Each structure stands twice: as C-alpha cells, then as structure tokens.
Structure 1
Amino acid sequence: MRRSTVYLLLIGLIFALPFVPALIASFGGVWRFPTIIPDGINLRAWESVFSPSARTLSATFLSLWIAFCVTIINLMVGIPAAYALTRKKLRFQSVIEAVLLAPIFVPALAAVMGIHLTFLRLGLTETVLGVILVHLAPSMPYVIRAAMISFQTMNEEAEDAAKMLGATKSQRFYHVILPHLIPGLTAGIILSMLISLSQYSVTLLIGAGQVITLPILFVPFLNGGDPAIGAAYTLVFSAVALALVLLLDGGLRSYYASRKGGLS
C-alpha cells in the first residue's frame, strides 16, 4: 500500500472518529460509563427525525435554499468589493477593509442584536428574507477575503494583454479574471454555505421560531431535550454539509477538466 493511501486512510479515520459516539448514541438507550454501547438499542431517534411531523426534510431544503441565496448575494457584493480594495486606490481603504472584515472577529449575535429593532420596523422578522439578510453578516467577510487573495495573486499583465487585444470588460472578466478567481471563490463559497447552514442564534432571533432550519430543529435536543434525537440530527447535518462540500469540490474538478479538454 502506498504511503499516500495510508495517509488518506488515517485522515479519514481521524475525521470519522468524532462521529462514532454520535452514531452509537443515535440508537437510543441508556448509555452510562463504562458501558461500550447503550442499553436497549432501538431506532426511535431515527424514526422521530424522519417522521412527517418532524419536518426534517423541509428544514433541510430551507436551510440549503437560504445558504444558496446568501452565497449568491455574497458573490455579487464580495467580488466587486474585493476588486475595489485590491485594484483601486481608495480613501480610508484600511478603514473600509476593517469594517467589511469585522464580522470575522465580532460575534454575529452582537451585530444582529443591533439590527433586530430595524428588522422589526421593516417587517423582516419571521421571514425567510430577513434570515437571508442576517446571514450575510457572518458569511460575507469570508467571500470578500477569498476574492481579495485571488485578486492579489493574479498577474495583471494577462488582463492588460487581453485589453490591448480588444477584449471587452465582460470578456476579460469571463476569460481571464474568473478562471483565476474560481479556486479561491470556491473556498469562500464553501465557507459561506457552511456558515449559513450552521447559524442558530441569529436565525432564532430574526426568524422568531417561524423560519425552521436544521439548527432550529436539532439544537434544543442537544441542549438536553433528547440526546439520542440530537445525535441523529447531528449526523444528518454533518451528512448534508459533507455532501455540499463534495458537490462543490466535484464541480470545481469538472470545471477544470472541461477547460483542460477545451484547450487540448
């Protein structure tokens, strides 16, 4: 067996180990130290998670839809902002950059508490739109930062050469800038989606219990409601997040494979 294969197996094992206790706990029963497996194993938790009244599937689709909308807005705002911060000479540029990236260091709940009253006046509480807007605060800085790094590492001579050859702004962006941005943006997209998917406090505050996402469903069980159901929900959430990452990774690989095939 090759060394690289051994390393991959070890990494996979390390990644999987934290989920083993959750998997065991999800099959219910009383689990006290030093017993290895719970007493009275059953499927009660999984039946509860996937029962029609649990709304797990609808919460999953809503969580993904919110994360998708949040990421699209982040890209629409983040790419121009990163371009301006890296290519333009702006007044108070350091201050602007600090303000845009501040949510990385400031807890999202602290920022949301300040805009909750405004959302109440605008009628955005208890709505999906309000939750989408509030998820922008903790997720957008990562997209901006990823785009900034991509712009900073890009050779501007290629863009200048395309301009001299008569390429329009849209052509330069699509054929020269975008291919260089995609790897960095993919990292930003993954972070944006995962951060949006995992938001509980801000979703509960703005959604007021009317916008039901996956964290709204499973966090109360983890906080003492029912550990077995909480463990099952944890595995469902982890599976959704892992599938999302693998899908984006596969999309990135397919994109570069298509470009390589087109160039050959």
Structure 2
Amino acid sequence: MMTFPERIGRFLLLAFVWAGLAFLTIPLAIIVAVSFTETEYLTFPPQGFTLRWYEQFLADTSYLDSIGLSASIAVASTAIAILIGIPAALAITRSQLPGMKIVNTIFLAPLILPTIVIGAALLQYASMLGIARSYTALLVGHVVIVVPYILRTVLASLARFDQTLEEASLDLGASPVSTFFLVTLPIIKPGLVAGALFALIISWINVELSIFNATAALMPIPVKIFNYVQYAIDPMVAAISAGTIYVAIVAVVLLDIFVGIDRVATPSK
C-alpha cells in the first residue's frame, strides 16, 4: 500500500505527464479545427463548418507537387542516411584505429551548427559543382542533417550490444553478412527505427536548409507554406498543416500495424 507522500508524488507525476500531452496535442487540435472554419481568416473556435479550404488546397497542384517532393526527399535521405549511419556507428564503436572520436564529432557536427549555416554553405558548394538549386543538392543537404539522428540512436543500441552473440553465430558457420542481418540488425532495430523516424520528421519539416536550394519548380512543402504565409494568412494554411497532421497519424498507425510500436520500443531478445 502506497504511503501518502508516494500518492502525492504519483499524482504530481501523472499531472505533469498529462499537462505535457495537452501542451503537445492541443495546438494540433486547434489547427485541425480552424481548417474547417467558414471565415476568411484564422479564428478559434471555428465559425461554421466547410471543406472549402481543403478543396482550395487540393485544387492547387503545386501544393501536391510540393508534398510529393518533400516525401521523396524525406524517404530518400533517410534511406541513404541509414546506409551511411550503420557502418559509421559500427566503425566508431568497434574500430581500433586512432581518430574515431574525431570521426564521430564530424558526423555529429550538423546537430551543433545552425541549419541555416549548413544551407548557405551547401548553396555555395553546390554552385561550385554546378548542381545548385537542384534535387541532388536538396537531397545531399537533407542527408547531411539527418545522418546524426541515425548515428546517435544506433550508437545507443550498440553501447549495450553483446558481441559474443556475433561470435557464436560465426562459430556456428554463419557468414559475416548473414550474422549482420540475422543477429546484429535485429538487435539494433529499435535504435534504427527510432533514428529513421527522427530523420523522416526532421527532413519533412526542414525550412532553413531547403529554402536556399528551392526554386519555383522545386519547392518542398515547408518552404511553400513559409512563402505563402508571408503574403496571406487564411484558413487554407490551416488546411495544409492539418493535411500533414493526417499524414503523420496514418504513418504512425501503419507503423503500429505492420511493425508494432511496442516492438520498436523494445530491444529484440
């Protein structure tokens, strides 16, 4: 039976958790609600109910193109970051070569530098290579800023990794490649999936880096919204933002159905 101080502590903890959830979710609920208002301006609570702003948003193919571009860059940059981050994490944790701490610092530098500085530097470097303001430049920039998220989460998984499991697999006749896919990868999967989710989100919402390499025909959705709100603020902005919220909800539901959020959060046995 809990003592009175323990009950007070538990109550305060639950209150803090619920307050945190409310702080995070109420703004999203407000955005969704405002997207249905009949007024020509943003107002809460919404007045009336209409799908006009969604129709206006979906009728503009440039927004759909921007969403497709952002999704393409987010998925591609995350996939490339995984291919870079896993070998880098393995090398940093297991290599006996000197200078691995410096390599780790270089990979994590994008977390320290302001993204806008990285964007400006990328624009200058891409101009020298003749690929400025192109899909390739955007993709390279997004890979640079999302690799640290993959690296950090995989490093965290490898920190408690038991290498005797790999040694046992090799002793039983498995090849190094088979050992990686059948032993190593399943164990580091929670960290890898968490890092991939972070990478997707960071890439999807990025404005600072993208704005330097965006053009009228190559404009990710965050930059598109940023440019729009400089000249007009109406409920269509809320409808676009609500659309991204719906996409995030669907992504989480699909992740739970096909992967299982509980399995992602729990290390493989």
TM range (shorter): 0.7 to 0.9
Aligned to 1:238: 245
What fraction of aligned residue pairs are identical, expressed as a percent? 24
Aligned to 1:260: none
* 1:194–1:31 distance in 2 versus 1, CA, 3 Å: same
1:29 and 2:39 aligned: yes
SS at 1:155 equivalent: coil
* 1:182–1:46 distance in 2 versus 1, CA, 3 Å: same
Q: Distance in 2 between matches of 1:150 and 1:15?
A: 27
Unaligned runs of 5+ in 2: 1-13
Contact 1:82 1:147 in 2 (8 A): yes
1:104 and 2:111 aligned: yes
Q: Distance in 2 between matches of 1:255 and 1:173?
A: 23
Contact 1:71 1:193 in 2 (8 A): yes
Bigger shift: 224-233 or 35-44? 35-44
Aligned to 1:181: 188
Shift of residue 204, structure 1, vs aligned partner: 2.0
TM-score scaled to structure 2, two decimals? 0.81
Q: Distance in 2 between matches of 1:176 and 1:151?
A: 12
SS at 1:201 equivalent: coil
Report the AA paired with residue 29 of structure 1.
T
Bigger shift: 14-23 or 176-185? 14-23
Q: Distance in 1 between matches of 2:191 and 2:235?
A: 38
Q: 1:148-194 CA distances to partner (integer Å, 9 max, x unpaired)?
A: 11111111111111111121111100111011011110001101111
Shift of residue 134, structure 1, vs aligned partner: 0.8
Shift of residue 49, structure 1, vs aligned partner: 0.8
1:47 and 2:55 aligned: yes
Contact 1:203 1:211 in 2 (8 A): no
Aligned residues: 249
Bigger shift: 193-202 or 218-227? 218-227
Report the AA paired with residue 87 of structure 1.
R
Contact 2:30 2:44 in 1 (8 A): no
Contact 1:221 1:227 in 2 (8 A): no
Q: Distance in 2 between matches of 1:77 and 1:183?
A: 17
Report the AA paired with residue 20 of structure 1.
A
Report the AA paired with residue 28 of structure 2.
F
* 1:18–1:121 distance in 2 versus 1, CA, 3 Å: same
Correspondences of 1:64-75 after superposition (within 5 Å)? 64-75=71-82
Shift of residue 39, structure 1, vs aligned partner: 5.2
Unaligned runs of 5+ in 1: 1-5, 258-262
1:162 and 2:172 aligned: no
Correspondences of 1:103-182 after superposition (within 5 Å)? 103-182=110-189
* 1:153–1:246 distance in 2 versus 1, CA, 3 Å: farther
Q: Distance in 1 between matches of 2:28 and 2:231?
A: 19
SS at 2:152 equivalent: helix
Report the AA paired with residue 192 of structure 2.
L
Aligned to 1:247: 254
Shift of residue 43, structure 1, vs aligned partner: 3.8
Aligned to 1:56: 63
Q: 1:34-62 CA distances to partner (integer Å, 9 max, x unpaired)?
A: x85355764442222111x3433332222
* 1:29–1:134 distance in 2 versus 1, CA, 3 Å: same
Q: Distance in 2 between matches of 1:179 and 1:220?
A: 43
